[in-house]
Amino acid sequence: MTEVLNLNLDQSLFNYQLEPVADKSILITGGTTGIGRAIAILLASQGAKVMVFGRHQDDLDEALKDIRAAGGEVLGLTADVSDPEDIQHVFQEFDRQMEKLDILINNAALGYGPITDGGYPEWEYILKTNLLGYMAMTHEAVERMKASGWGHIVNIGSMSADVREKDSSVYVATKAGIQGFSEALRKEVNPIGIKVTLIEPGAVGTDMQSQYSPAEQRERIGKMKMLRAEDIAACVLYTITQPKRCDVVSLQIRPHLQEI
Q: Which tens digits make up the pLDDT trace of 13-38?
A: 556 788 999 999 999 999 999 999 99
Is pLDDT at 173 greater than 90 in this prediction?
Answer: yes
- In DSSP terms, which residues pair with 73 in a beta bridge? 49
- In DSSP terms, which residues pair with 50 in a beta bridge? 26, 74
Measured on CA atoms in the order 47, 104, 133, 250, is the torsion positive or negative? negative
Amino acid in the structure at residue 256: H
Answer whether residue 225 is part of any domain: yes
Q: State the CATH number of the domain containing residue 80.
A: 3.40.50.720
Close Cβ partners of 111 (under 8 Å, ≥ 6 residues apart): 168, 171, 208, 210
pLDDT at 6: 53
Answer whether residue 9 is part of any domain: no
Please give, one letter per residue, the 3-state secondary structure of 104-166.
Answer: EEECCCCCCCCCCCCCHHHHHHHHHHHHHHHHHHHHHHHHHHHHHCCEEEEEECCCHHHHCCC
Is pLDDT at 177 greater than 80 in this prediction?
Answer: yes
Is pLDDT at 254 greater than 90 in this prediction?
Answer: yes
Answer whether residue 216 is part of any domain: yes
Dist. CA 8–CA 25, nearest whole Å? 40
pTM over cut 0.85 = yes
Close Cβ partners of 58 (under 8 Å, ≥ 6 residues apart): none
pLDDT at 208: 66
Contact 207, 180 (CB under 8 A): no
- In DSSP terms, which residues pair with 195 in a beta bridge? 152
Answer whether residue 15 is part of any domain: no
Average pLDDT over residues 124-147: 97
Closest of 199, 214, 195 to residue 159, by C-alpha: 199
Answer whether residue 151 is part of any domain: yes
Answer whether residue 259 is part of any domain: no
Answer whether residue 3 is part of any domain: no
Name which residue leads in pLDDT, 146 or 215.
146
Answer whether residue 161 is part of any domain: yes
To the nearest 5 percent, what fractions of the chain are helix, strand and coil? 45, 15, 40
* Average pLDDT in the chain: 91
> Catalytic annotation on 171?
yes
Q: How many domains does the chain have?
A: 1
Could you give the C-alpha distances from 227 to 148, 169, 202, 213, 218, in angstroms and in order?
36, 22, 8, 15, 10
- In DSSP terms, which residues pair with 54 in a beta bridge? 78
Is pLDDT at 123 greater than 90 in this prediction?
Answer: yes
Close Cβ partners of 153 (under 8 Å, ≥ 6 residues apart): 103, 104, 106, 138, 141, 142, 185, 189, 194, 195, 196, 197
Give pLDDT tens digits for 61-106: 999 999 999 988 899 999 999 999 999 999 999 999 998 999 999 9
Catalytic-role residue among 112, 120, 134, 171: 171
**The domain containing residue 177 runs over which residues?**
20-253
